[in-house]
Amino acid sequence: MSPLLSLAISLALIAGLGILAYVWRVYPNRVMVWLVLVPALASLLMLRWLVALWPLLALDGLAALMIVLDLFSTARRRAFSIERATGRVASLAKPHDVSITLSNLTTRGFLVAVRDGVPEELNPEPAEFNVALKPRTRATLKYRCRAGRRGAFVLSDIHLCVRSRWGLWQRFLDYPCESVLHVYPDMKQMSEYAVLARTNRLSLMGVRRTRRIGQDNEFERLRDYTRDDNFKHIDWRATARRRKLTVKEFQRNQSQRIIFLIDCGRMMTNQAAGLSLLDHALNAMFMLGYVALSHGDSVGLLCFSDEVHTYVPPRGGRGQNNRLLHACFDRFPRRVESRYDKAFLYLNTKCRKRSLVVLVTNVIDEVNSNQIKQYLGSLSGGHLPLGVLLRDRRVFDYAEAPDPADDKALYRAAAAAEILSWRAQVLTDLVTQGVLVLDVFPEDLTAPLVNRYLEVKARHLL
Protein backbone atom coordinates (compact mmCIF):
# COMPACT_ATOMS: atom_id res chain seq x y z
CA MET A 1 0.00 0.00 0.00
CA SER A 2 1.51 3.28 -1.12
CA PRO A 3 2.04 6.17 1.33
CA LEU A 4 -0.26 8.39 -0.72
CA LEU A 5 -3.07 5.88 -0.55
CA SER A 6 -2.60 5.54 3.21
CA LEU A 7 -2.67 9.32 3.58
CA ALA A 8 -5.85 9.54 1.50
CA ILE A 9 -7.58 6.88 3.59
CA SER A 10 -6.56 8.62 6.84
CA LEU A 11 -7.86 11.99 5.62
CA ALA A 12 -11.12 10.40 4.53
CA LEU A 13 -11.59 8.81 7.95
CA ILE A 14 -10.87 12.10 9.71
CA ALA A 15 -13.30 13.95 7.43
CA GLY A 16 -16.00 11.33 8.04
CA LEU A 17 -15.60 11.56 11.79
CA GLY A 18 -15.72 15.36 11.58
CA ILE A 19 -18.98 15.27 9.60
CA LEU A 20 -20.54 12.82 12.05
CA ALA A 21 -19.53 15.02 14.99
CA TYR A 22 -20.59 18.35 13.46
CA VAL A 23 -23.85 17.32 11.76
CA TRP A 24 -25.24 14.45 13.84
CA ARG A 25 -23.15 14.89 17.03
CA VAL A 26 -22.01 11.26 16.89
CA TYR A 27 -18.62 10.48 18.46
CA PRO A 28 -16.53 7.33 18.93
CA ASN A 29 -16.83 5.65 22.31
CA ARG A 30 -14.11 3.99 24.39
CA VAL A 31 -15.16 0.55 23.17
CA MET A 32 -14.26 1.53 19.62
CA VAL A 33 -10.77 2.52 20.74
CA TRP A 34 -10.20 -0.95 22.16
CA LEU A 35 -11.68 -2.55 19.05
CA VAL A 36 -9.32 -0.65 16.76
CA LEU A 37 -6.39 -1.28 19.09
CA VAL A 38 -6.66 -5.08 18.69
CA PRO A 39 -5.80 -5.23 14.91
CA ALA A 40 -3.26 -2.46 15.39
CA LEU A 41 -1.34 -4.53 17.94
CA ALA A 42 -1.82 -7.66 15.86
CA SER A 43 -0.17 -5.91 12.89
CA LEU A 44 3.12 -6.16 14.80
CA LEU A 45 3.13 -9.84 13.83
CA MET A 46 3.95 -8.80 10.29
CA LEU A 47 7.40 -7.83 11.47
CA ARG A 48 8.12 -11.55 11.97
CA TRP A 49 5.68 -13.40 9.74
CA LEU A 50 4.66 -11.87 6.39
CA VAL A 51 2.05 -14.63 5.92
CA ALA A 52 -0.01 -12.90 8.63
CA LEU A 53 -0.92 -10.10 6.19
CA TRP A 54 -4.16 -11.62 4.93
CA PRO A 55 -5.53 -12.63 8.35
CA LEU A 56 -4.76 -9.13 9.57
CA LEU A 57 -6.55 -7.60 6.60
CA ALA A 58 -9.54 -9.81 7.34
CA LEU A 59 -9.45 -8.69 11.00
CA ASP A 60 -9.31 -5.04 9.90
CA GLY A 61 -12.24 -5.58 7.56
CA LEU A 62 -14.29 -7.24 10.31
CA ALA A 63 -13.59 -4.35 12.71
CA ALA A 64 -14.52 -1.78 10.04
CA LEU A 65 -17.76 -3.68 9.25
CA MET A 66 -18.73 -3.75 12.94
CA ILE A 67 -18.05 -0.02 13.25
CA VAL A 68 -20.18 0.81 10.19
CA LEU A 69 -23.05 -1.48 11.19
CA ASP A 70 -23.08 -0.14 14.74
CA LEU A 71 -23.18 3.40 13.39
CA PHE A 72 -26.65 2.74 11.94
CA SER A 73 -27.90 1.66 15.38
CA THR A 74 -27.37 5.05 17.00
CA ALA A 75 -30.50 6.57 18.50
CA ARG A 76 -32.73 8.95 16.59
CA ARG A 77 -34.05 12.14 18.12
CA ARG A 78 -37.65 10.95 18.00
CA ALA A 79 -36.74 7.86 20.04
CA PHE A 80 -37.20 9.74 23.31
CA SER A 81 -39.54 12.20 24.96
CA ILE A 82 -38.54 14.09 28.07
CA GLU A 83 -40.21 16.38 30.62
CA ARG A 84 -39.04 18.35 33.65
CA ALA A 85 -41.15 19.04 36.73
CA THR A 86 -40.05 21.69 39.21
CA GLY A 87 -41.52 24.46 41.29
CA ARG A 88 -41.04 28.07 40.25
CA VAL A 89 -39.84 29.25 43.66
CA ALA A 90 -36.86 28.07 45.71
CA SER A 91 -35.19 29.30 48.88
CA LEU A 92 -31.58 30.35 49.13
CA ALA A 93 -29.25 27.55 50.34
CA LYS A 94 -32.24 25.24 50.84
CA PRO A 95 -32.76 21.96 48.89
CA HIS A 96 -35.14 22.22 45.95
CA ASP A 97 -36.47 19.07 44.26
CA VAL A 98 -36.46 18.64 40.48
CA SER A 99 -37.67 15.55 38.59
CA ILE A 100 -37.05 14.51 34.97
CA THR A 101 -39.28 11.96 33.19
CA LEU A 102 -37.50 10.20 30.31
CA SER A 103 -39.56 7.96 28.01
CA ASN A 104 -38.25 5.40 25.50
CA LEU A 105 -40.64 5.33 22.53
CA THR A 106 -38.90 2.54 20.61
CA THR A 107 -38.87 -1.27 20.74
CA ARG A 108 -35.20 -1.54 21.77
CA GLY A 109 -33.31 -0.65 24.90
CA PHE A 110 -30.71 2.08 25.38
CA LEU A 111 -27.99 3.04 27.79
CA VAL A 112 -28.48 6.76 28.41
CA ALA A 113 -26.56 9.37 30.40
CA VAL A 114 -28.79 12.29 31.41
CA ARG A 115 -27.59 15.75 32.44
CA ASP A 116 -29.88 18.69 33.07
CA GLY A 117 -28.99 22.17 31.82
CA VAL A 118 -28.80 23.72 35.26
CA PRO A 119 -26.72 26.85 35.98
CA GLU A 120 -23.71 26.07 38.12
CA GLU A 121 -24.97 28.38 40.88
CA LEU A 122 -27.76 25.88 41.62
CA ASN A 123 -25.35 23.04 42.49
CA PRO A 124 -27.39 19.98 41.36
CA GLU A 125 -26.90 16.72 43.26
CA PRO A 126 -26.35 14.37 41.47
CA ALA A 127 -25.26 16.23 38.36
CA GLU A 128 -25.65 13.24 35.99
CA PHE A 129 -27.67 10.01 35.76
CA ASN A 130 -26.84 6.76 33.97
CA VAL A 131 -30.03 4.90 33.02
CA ALA A 132 -30.69 1.58 31.26
CA LEU A 133 -34.00 2.18 29.45
CA LYS A 134 -35.92 -0.92 28.42
CA PRO A 135 -38.21 -0.85 25.35
CA ARG A 136 -41.40 1.19 25.76
CA THR A 137 -40.61 2.26 29.33
CA ARG A 138 -40.02 5.47 31.21
CA ALA A 139 -37.74 6.49 34.03
CA THR A 140 -38.22 9.24 36.60
CA LEU A 141 -34.96 10.86 37.70
CA LYS A 142 -34.92 13.08 40.77
CA TYR A 143 -32.21 15.40 41.97
CA ARG A 144 -31.88 18.35 44.32
CA CYS A 145 -30.63 21.85 43.74
CA ARG A 146 -29.14 24.02 46.46
CA ALA A 147 -28.89 27.58 45.19
CA GLY A 148 -25.73 29.45 46.09
CA ARG A 149 -27.21 32.86 45.32
CA ARG A 150 -30.55 34.55 44.80
CA GLY A 151 -32.00 35.62 41.47
CA ALA A 152 -33.88 34.33 38.42
CA PHE A 153 -32.39 31.25 36.77
CA VAL A 154 -33.32 29.52 33.51
CA LEU A 155 -33.11 25.74 33.34
CA SER A 156 -32.54 25.25 29.63
CA ASP A 157 -32.07 22.06 27.58
CA ILE A 158 -31.84 18.53 28.92
CA HIS A 159 -28.83 16.73 27.49
CA LEU A 160 -28.70 13.01 26.63
CA CYS A 161 -25.72 10.87 25.73
CA VAL A 162 -26.99 7.63 24.13
CA ARG A 163 -24.81 4.63 23.28
CA SER A 164 -25.23 2.57 20.12
CA ARG A 165 -26.23 -1.10 20.22
CA TRP A 166 -22.69 -2.44 20.62
CA GLY A 167 -21.40 0.62 22.42
CA LEU A 168 -18.95 1.67 19.71
CA TRP A 169 -20.62 5.07 19.17
CA GLN A 170 -22.31 7.64 21.36
CA ARG A 171 -24.70 10.35 20.26
CA PHE A 172 -25.49 13.59 22.09
CA LEU A 173 -29.07 14.83 21.94
CA ASP A 174 -30.47 18.11 23.34
CA TYR A 175 -34.15 18.49 24.18
CA PRO A 176 -35.48 22.03 24.76
CA CYS A 177 -37.30 22.11 28.09
CA GLU A 178 -37.10 25.63 29.51
CA SER A 179 -38.08 26.27 33.11
CA VAL A 180 -37.70 29.47 35.13
CA LEU A 181 -36.68 29.20 38.78
CA HIS A 182 -36.78 32.18 41.13
CA VAL A 183 -34.49 31.82 44.12
CA TYR A 184 -35.68 33.95 47.03
CA PRO A 185 -34.21 34.47 50.47
CA ASP A 186 -34.99 31.77 52.99
CA MET A 187 -38.79 31.43 53.07
CA LYS A 188 -39.05 28.05 54.74
CA GLN A 189 -38.41 29.71 58.08
CA MET A 190 -41.75 31.49 57.63
CA SER A 191 -43.66 28.21 57.41
CA GLU A 192 -41.67 26.91 60.39
CA TYR A 193 -42.65 30.02 62.35
CA ALA A 194 -46.32 29.52 61.47
CA VAL A 195 -46.27 25.89 62.63
CA LEU A 196 -44.43 26.67 65.86
CA ALA A 197 -46.71 29.65 66.57
CA ARG A 198 -49.80 27.45 66.30
CA THR A 199 -48.32 24.87 68.66
CA ASN A 200 -46.94 27.49 71.05
CA ARG A 201 -43.30 26.38 70.54
CA LEU A 202 -41.68 29.56 69.23
CA SER A 203 -38.89 29.17 71.77
CA LEU A 204 -37.41 26.50 69.48
CA MET A 205 -36.60 29.30 67.00
CA GLY A 206 -35.18 31.53 69.72
CA VAL A 207 -38.27 33.79 69.84
CA ARG A 208 -39.11 34.79 73.40
CA ARG A 209 -42.58 35.32 74.78
CA THR A 210 -42.83 39.00 75.70
CA ARG A 211 -45.25 40.11 78.39
CA ARG A 212 -47.44 42.87 77.04
CA ILE A 213 -47.70 45.99 79.18
CA GLY A 214 -51.36 46.95 79.40
CA GLN A 215 -54.10 45.82 76.99
CA ASP A 216 -54.76 47.42 73.62
CA ASN A 217 -57.27 44.85 72.30
CA GLU A 218 -60.94 45.81 72.23
CA PHE A 219 -63.94 43.64 71.46
CA GLU A 220 -65.03 43.95 67.83
CA ARG A 221 -67.50 41.14 66.97
CA LEU A 222 -68.57 37.53 67.42
CA ARG A 223 -67.83 34.89 64.81
CA ASP A 224 -67.78 31.12 64.33
CA TYR A 225 -65.01 29.14 65.99
CA THR A 226 -62.12 27.85 63.87
CA ARG A 227 -59.47 25.27 64.74
CA ASP A 228 -56.74 27.91 65.16
CA ASP A 229 -58.65 30.00 67.72
CA ASN A 230 -57.71 30.21 71.39
CA PHE A 231 -60.14 28.42 73.73
CA LYS A 232 -60.00 31.41 76.07
CA HIS A 233 -61.82 33.53 73.49
CA ILE A 234 -64.88 31.26 73.31
CA ASP A 235 -68.07 33.06 74.37
CA TRP A 236 -70.05 30.33 76.09
CA ARG A 237 -73.25 32.33 76.42
CA ALA A 238 -73.34 33.08 72.71
CA THR A 239 -72.41 29.44 72.03
CA ALA A 240 -75.37 28.21 74.12
CA ARG A 241 -77.71 30.70 72.47
CA ARG A 242 -76.60 29.84 68.92
CA ARG A 243 -75.92 26.16 69.65
CA LYS A 244 -72.66 26.63 67.79
CA LEU A 245 -69.14 27.35 69.03
CA THR A 246 -68.66 31.13 68.94
CA VAL A 247 -65.56 33.17 69.71
CA LYS A 248 -64.90 36.82 70.42
CA GLU A 249 -62.82 38.70 67.87
CA PHE A 250 -60.78 41.67 69.02
CA GLN A 251 -59.61 44.62 67.03
CA ARG A 252 -55.95 45.58 67.20
CA ASN A 253 -54.08 48.76 66.64
CA GLN A 254 -52.98 48.46 62.99
CA SER A 255 -51.48 51.91 62.60
CA GLN A 256 -47.94 50.79 63.39
CA ARG A 257 -45.52 50.78 60.48
CA ILE A 258 -42.13 49.18 59.89
CA ILE A 259 -39.74 50.33 57.17
CA PHE A 260 -36.55 48.43 56.43
CA LEU A 261 -33.51 50.29 55.10
CA ILE A 262 -31.24 47.62 53.64
CA ASP A 263 -27.71 48.65 52.80
CA CYS A 264 -26.59 47.05 49.49
CA GLY A 265 -23.18 48.72 49.32
CA ARG A 266 -19.63 47.56 49.92
CA MET A 267 -20.17 46.99 53.65
CA MET A 268 -22.51 44.07 52.88
CA THR A 269 -20.24 42.11 50.52
CA ASN A 270 -18.52 40.06 53.25
CA GLN A 271 -19.37 36.40 53.71
CA ALA A 272 -20.66 34.69 56.85
CA ALA A 273 -21.69 31.03 57.06
CA GLY A 274 -21.57 30.71 53.28
CA LEU A 275 -23.85 33.69 52.57
CA SER A 276 -23.23 37.38 52.07
CA LEU A 277 -24.23 39.84 54.77
CA LEU A 278 -26.97 41.10 52.46
CA ASP A 279 -28.44 37.60 52.22
CA HIS A 280 -28.55 37.29 55.99
CA ALA A 281 -30.16 40.72 56.22
CA LEU A 282 -32.85 39.82 53.68
CA ASN A 283 -33.59 36.50 55.40
CA ALA A 284 -34.13 38.26 58.72
CA MET A 285 -36.11 41.05 57.07
CA PHE A 286 -38.58 38.65 55.44
CA MET A 287 -39.02 36.77 58.68
CA LEU A 288 -39.72 39.93 60.67
CA GLY A 289 -41.96 41.21 57.87
CA TYR A 290 -43.98 38.00 58.03
CA VAL A 291 -44.33 38.32 61.81
CA ALA A 292 -45.26 42.02 61.63
CA LEU A 293 -47.86 41.43 58.93
CA SER A 294 -49.39 38.64 60.99
CA HIS A 295 -49.67 41.16 63.87
CA GLY A 296 -51.59 43.57 61.65
CA ASP A 297 -48.76 46.06 61.05
CA SER A 298 -47.66 47.62 57.77
CA VAL A 299 -44.24 46.81 56.31
CA GLY A 300 -42.18 48.72 53.75
CA LEU A 301 -38.74 48.41 52.21
CA LEU A 302 -35.99 50.67 50.85
CA CYS A 303 -32.83 49.18 49.29
CA PHE A 304 -29.93 51.53 48.58
CA SER A 305 -26.22 51.74 47.87
CA ASP A 306 -24.85 54.74 45.97
CA GLU A 307 -28.46 55.34 44.91
CA VAL A 308 -31.93 54.21 45.89
CA HIS A 309 -32.63 50.94 44.09
CA THR A 310 -35.99 49.76 45.39
CA TYR A 311 -38.80 51.27 47.42
CA VAL A 312 -41.91 49.40 48.52
CA PRO A 313 -44.44 51.62 50.34
CA PRO A 314 -45.61 50.33 53.73
CA ARG A 315 -48.75 48.25 53.44
CA GLY A 316 -50.48 45.48 55.31
CA GLY A 317 -52.04 42.21 54.22
CA ARG A 318 -50.68 38.92 53.00
CA GLY A 319 -49.91 40.25 49.54
CA GLN A 320 -47.30 42.65 50.93
CA ASN A 321 -44.93 39.80 51.69
CA ASN A 322 -44.96 38.82 48.01
CA ARG A 323 -44.27 42.42 47.01
CA LEU A 324 -41.24 42.49 49.27
CA LEU A 325 -39.98 39.21 47.83
CA HIS A 326 -40.30 40.31 44.21
CA ALA A 327 -38.74 43.68 44.96
CA CYS A 328 -35.36 42.43 46.12
CA PHE A 329 -34.88 38.73 45.37
CA ASP A 330 -32.44 39.64 42.58
CA ARG A 331 -30.71 42.45 44.47
CA PHE A 332 -27.00 41.86 45.17
CA PRO A 333 -24.38 43.84 47.10
CA ARG A 334 -22.36 46.31 45.04
CA ARG A 335 -18.78 47.42 45.62
CA VAL A 336 -19.67 51.09 45.91
CA GLU A 337 -19.84 53.57 48.77
CA SER A 338 -23.30 53.72 50.33
CA ARG A 339 -25.04 57.11 50.22
CA TYR A 340 -26.97 57.35 53.47
CA ASP A 341 -27.92 60.94 52.70
CA LYS A 342 -29.83 59.90 49.57
CA ALA A 343 -31.55 57.02 51.38
CA PHE A 344 -32.74 59.08 54.36
CA LEU A 345 -33.77 62.02 52.18
CA TYR A 346 -35.84 59.67 50.04
CA LEU A 347 -37.37 58.18 53.17
CA ASN A 348 -38.33 61.61 54.53
CA THR A 349 -40.09 62.51 51.30
CA LYS A 350 -42.00 59.21 51.05
CA CYS A 351 -42.82 58.42 54.68
CA ARG A 352 -43.84 61.11 57.14
CA LYS A 353 -45.90 59.04 59.57
CA ARG A 354 -44.14 57.73 62.65
CA SER A 355 -42.61 54.34 61.88
CA LEU A 356 -40.09 51.85 63.17
CA VAL A 357 -37.15 52.42 60.81
CA VAL A 358 -34.83 49.39 60.78
CA LEU A 359 -31.43 50.09 59.21
CA VAL A 360 -29.41 46.93 58.52
CA THR A 361 -25.79 47.66 57.73
CA ASN A 362 -22.20 46.99 58.77
CA VAL A 363 -19.78 49.34 60.51
CA ILE A 364 -16.28 49.25 59.05
CA ASP A 365 -14.66 52.66 59.40
CA GLU A 366 -15.15 56.18 60.72
CA VAL A 367 -16.74 57.40 57.49
CA ASN A 368 -19.80 55.20 57.49
CA SER A 369 -20.10 55.12 61.31
CA ASN A 370 -20.34 58.94 61.43
CA GLN A 371 -23.02 58.90 58.74
CA ILE A 372 -24.99 56.21 60.56
CA LYS A 373 -24.88 58.20 63.81
CA GLN A 374 -25.82 61.43 62.04
CA TYR A 375 -28.79 60.17 60.04
CA LEU A 376 -30.18 57.61 62.48
CA GLY A 377 -29.95 60.12 65.29
CA SER A 378 -31.86 62.68 63.25
CA LEU A 379 -34.84 60.28 63.05
CA SER A 380 -35.39 60.28 66.82
CA GLY A 381 -38.62 62.02 67.65
CA GLY A 382 -40.28 61.70 64.27
CA HIS A 383 -39.60 57.98 63.93
CA LEU A 384 -38.32 55.18 66.12
CA PRO A 385 -34.91 54.24 64.68
CA LEU A 386 -33.40 50.78 65.11
CA GLY A 387 -29.82 50.29 63.97
CA VAL A 388 -28.88 46.68 63.21
CA LEU A 389 -25.08 46.44 63.03
CA LEU A 390 -23.66 43.12 61.85
CA ARG A 391 -20.58 41.77 63.56
CA ASP A 392 -17.50 40.27 61.93
CA ARG A 393 -16.86 36.93 63.65
CA ARG A 394 -13.21 36.92 62.62
CA VAL A 395 -12.51 40.08 64.61
CA PHE A 396 -14.05 38.54 67.73
CA ASP A 397 -12.09 35.32 67.18
CA TYR A 398 -8.83 37.25 66.88
CA ALA A 399 -9.55 39.15 70.08
CA GLU A 400 -9.95 35.98 72.12
CA ALA A 401 -7.02 34.63 74.17
CA PRO A 402 -4.10 34.37 71.72
CA ASP A 403 -1.02 32.21 72.08
CA PRO A 404 1.57 34.27 74.04
CA ALA A 405 4.37 32.62 72.06
CA ASP A 406 2.94 33.75 68.73
CA ASP A 407 3.88 37.38 68.06
CA LYS A 408 1.56 37.68 65.05
CA ALA A 409 -1.39 36.38 67.08
CA LEU A 410 -0.68 38.99 69.76
CA TYR A 411 -0.60 41.80 67.21
CA ARG A 412 -3.86 40.56 65.66
CA ALA A 413 -5.48 40.33 69.10
CA ALA A 414 -4.40 43.89 69.96
CA ALA A 415 -5.74 45.25 66.66
CA ALA A 416 -9.01 43.33 67.06
CA ALA A 417 -9.44 44.60 70.64
CA GLU A 418 -8.95 48.17 69.44
CA ILE A 419 -11.58 47.69 66.71
CA LEU A 420 -14.06 46.22 69.19
CA SER A 421 -13.46 49.10 71.62
CA TRP A 422 -14.14 51.60 68.84
CA ARG A 423 -17.24 49.66 67.80
CA ALA A 424 -18.56 49.67 71.38
CA GLN A 425 -18.16 53.46 71.46
CA VAL A 426 -20.18 53.77 68.24
CA LEU A 427 -22.99 51.71 69.78
CA THR A 428 -22.91 53.84 72.93
CA ASP A 429 -23.16 57.05 70.91
CA LEU A 430 -26.19 55.70 69.05
CA VAL A 431 -27.96 54.76 72.28
CA THR A 432 -27.36 58.23 73.76
CA GLN A 433 -29.03 59.72 70.65
CA GLY A 434 -32.19 57.70 71.29
CA VAL A 435 -31.50 54.97 68.73
CA LEU A 436 -32.34 51.36 69.48
CA VAL A 437 -29.34 49.16 68.71
CA LEU A 438 -28.99 45.50 67.82
CA ASP A 439 -25.42 44.19 67.57
CA VAL A 440 -25.39 40.54 66.41
CA PHE A 441 -23.60 38.07 64.20
CA PRO A 442 -25.18 37.82 60.72
CA GLU A 443 -26.08 34.12 60.97
CA ASP A 444 -27.85 34.77 64.33
CA LEU A 445 -29.78 37.83 63.23
CA THR A 446 -33.33 36.52 62.76
CA ALA A 447 -34.39 35.61 66.29
CA PRO A 448 -32.91 38.72 68.03
CA LEU A 449 -34.51 41.00 65.43
CA VAL A 450 -37.94 39.41 65.92
CA ASN A 451 -37.51 39.61 69.70
CA ARG A 452 -36.66 43.30 69.51
CA TYR A 453 -39.76 43.96 67.40
CA LEU A 454 -41.95 42.08 69.91
CA GLU A 455 -40.38 44.10 72.71
CA VAL A 456 -41.20 47.35 70.91
CA LYS A 457 -44.78 46.16 70.48
CA ALA A 458 -45.09 45.10 74.11
CA ARG A 459 -43.72 48.39 75.47
CA HIS A 460 -45.83 50.49 73.06
CA LEU A 461 -42.76 52.45 71.93
CA LEU A 462 -44.40 53.36 68.64
Residue-wise pLDDT for 292-311, tens only, equals 888 889 999 999 999 999 99
- Provide the residue-wise pLDDT of the chain in tens; the chain has 462 residues: 444 554 565 566 667 777 877 778 999 888 887 877 776 666 666 656 655 666 777 777 788 888 889 999 999 999 999 999 999 988 888 899 999 999 999 999 999 999 999 998 899 999 999 999 999 999 999 999 999 888 889 999 999 999 999 999 999 999 999 999 998 877 666 666 655 555 555 555 556 555 454 444 556 678 888 876 777 888 898 898 988 899 887 655 556 899 999 999 998 998 888 888 998 999 889 889 988 888 889 999 999 999 999 999 999 888 898 899 888 888 889 999 999 999 999 999 998 889 999 999 998 888 889 999 999 999 887 899 999 999 988 888 888 877 777 778 888 888 889 999 999 999 999 999 999 999 999 998 988 898 899 888 888 787
3 state SS of 260: strand
Nearest Cα neighbor of 76 from 151, 173, 185 is 173
Whether residue 126 is preceded by a cis peptide bond, meaning omega within 30 degrees of 0, is: yes
CATH 3.40.50.970 correct for 257-458:
no
- 77-184, CATH topology level: Immunoglobulin-like (2.60.40)
Question: Cα 176 to the chain's mean position, in Å?
Answer: 24
Integer CA distances (angstroms), 63 to 45, 67, 74, 164, 229, in order: 18, 6, 17, 15, 79
Total Cβ atoms within 10 A of residue 126: 11
Nearest Cα neighbor of 170 from 159, 183, 157, 185 is 159
Where do the structural domains in the chain lie, given as residue ranges?
3-71, 77-184, 218-251, 257-458
Q: Which amino acid appears at position 111 of this protein?
A: L
Note whether 93 and 148 are within 8 A (CB).
Answer: yes
CA atoms of 384 and 435, how far apart (whole Å): 7
CA atoms of 327 and 325, how far apart (whole Å): 5
Question: Sign of dihedral through CA atoms 306, 256, 388, 444?
Answer: negative
Q: Which amino acid appears at position 331 of this protein?
A: R
Question: Cα 94 to the chain's mean position, in Å?
Answer: 6
Nearest Cα neighbor of 453 from 299, 240, 275, 319 is 299
Residue-wise pLDDT for 246-298, tens only, equals 988 765 555 689 999 999 999 899 888 888 899 899 988 988 998 888 888 99
